[in-house]
Amino acid sequence: MVQVDRNRIGLLDTTDDTESGLSFLMGVVGLVLLIACFNVANLQLVRATKRQREIALRLSLGAPRWRIIRQLLTESVLLSLLGGAVGLLLATWVIDVIVALQGTIVEMPIELDFGLDRRVLGFTLVLSLLSGVLFGLAPALQTLRHGQFSGLKDQTPAHSQGKTRSRLQNSLVVAQVAISLVLLIGAGLLLQSMGNALSLDPGFDARSGVVLPINLGYGRYDEVEGKRFLRQLVERVESLRGVQSATVTAELPLGQLHIRQSIGVEGYVPAPDEQMIVRTNFVGPRYFETLGISIVNGRAIDEHDGEDRRPVAVINETMARRYWPGRDPIGQAIHVGGGGEPGEIVGIVKDGKYDTLDEPSQPYVCYALEQLDVYLKQVNLIVRTEGDPRALMGPIRGEIQQLDPDMPAPQIMTLDEFLEIRVEETGGPAEMVAIFGLLALLVAMVGVFGVMSYSVSQRTLEIGIRMSLGARPIEILRLVIAAGLKITLVGVAVGLSGAMAASRLLTSFLYEVNPLNPLIFIAVSAALVVVALLACYVPARWAARVDPMIALRYQ
């Protein structure tokens, strides 16, 4: 039997990656929320401007300023709370999608609680209140900045007041465009990184195969019954038409479960500070055949390597070169876990990727799962198929249900899907960032549209005068678009500076991608400018179609 360190079985070694990934996503979500708040603040400013005469009249009748501010903040907070309520309703739908994606962690079929408990509701409430207060305060103060007399003189704001308010509105739009550009450039870098990672050789054949977790730890199986269940399952699956081979394994290459064991190599004297801890796996017969991993020398682990036979091990090329330089390791003994009967090395396999796709070559050793002295209740079933692997997902589930109708239906996916998911998890949540980036772009363009629409309404009299003096509609069109383009270009300039700084924070998520890739920076900036021009076009068309006689009578 292979004696192992039980404390290292099932060790999850992805804590740092998970925390950094969650922090990164939280930052992205925060930026999108900031853009939305800027947009709401802009709309609140426009709304308060239209109520300037009403507010001035209230002040003239003796209403205290704090009461006006309280009213405006109450309206802002109410709007924010309504938005939070809608967000919670959408969250209930998104939760169902997340639960359906639990199969991405195929080695660990666990139940995750995504319920909207009091903590979630409290966080949503606090966030809504803060957003309403913080981004409703600036429009409220801006509205009360000038006295009641300027508001009563004319229904439209004074020139200086309108200019100040215009600068504030334009600044908010510039910030929205800049943040959107940062998110979109980050998404572009992450997507390119994911594409580069997917083009790498993972060390196994990801085509025409499926993988699914098998959980024997929910109370029905002891060690003897569990091993019998796995043997029967592999035999039944291999008997299915279209299946080439099937096997079980403690962990998957590039999976989330990382097992490392201390080893002892006979004849090798480690350096004083050298740690003899290597990547370890425990596999069933035909594991290397099922994953398409080449045998360089010797043989693979097969069905004869049972618990009544001498323990055997298969190592990779890097381990062979490191511990047996210039020698043939076949037939040599290796200890694992600090004791027990030494295992005999029976084969050498080609190097592969075990933790991440961008990792350097590392020593790797596989032992026969049947010879392990620890009962693993959670393993993975891997199936190699001849044709479309999706066609066999149903029959494989059927075999599991026939063996144990009470076993929860496991999540099953193709090896291609598994590889893509692992690339996304190790290389950065590219698709998620891209979705949030597009959402941020949409919100920012709504802001550009709103500001340009308001600007056109404020300049109706000016436009009428220009057209009365002979200005053509195409000139008015260019005038309005140029104003929107100016705001957008300022936002792009600010966003490029921010993206250059933020892209360096993505270095740990990028694989063979220059964080300052000029092609991505230029392409995303150009695309954003084009979208902004489209957002400006509709208000510009409205301005170009203004009737000069109506415009001259506009108040």
Distance (Å) of CA 247 to CA 103, 192, 233: 19, 34, 9
Please spell the DSSP secondary structure of 99-122, one letter per residue: HHTGGGSTT----------HHHHH
Indicate the residue type of 307. E
Share of the chain above pLDDT 90, in %: 20
- Dump pLDDT digits (tens) for 306-365: 888 888 999 999 999 999 988 899 999 888 765 667 889 999 999 998 887 777 889 999
pTM of the prediction? 0.68
CB count in 10 Å sphere of residue 448:
26
Is the pLDDT score of 158 beyond 70? no
CB contact at 8 A, 143 and 49: yes
Average pLDDT of the chain, as a whole number: 79
**Residue 222: φ, ψ to 5°:** -90, -170
Q: Pick the more confident residue, 110 or 31.
A: 31
Other CB atoms within 10 A of residue 67 CB: 12
Please state whether beta strands 413-414 and 378-385 pair in parallel, antiparallel, or not at all (unpaired). unpaired
Q: Which residues of 471-510 are buried (b: 16+ CB within 10 A; e: fewer)?
A: beeeebbebbbebbbebbebbbebbbeebeebbeebeebb
Per-residue pLDDT tens over the stretch 129-140 = 887 777 777 666
**Which H or E run includes 476?**
helix 473-503
Dist CA 267 CA 296 (whole Å): 23
Higher-pLDDT residue of 12, 379: 379
Q: What is the pLDDT of residue 297?
A: 93
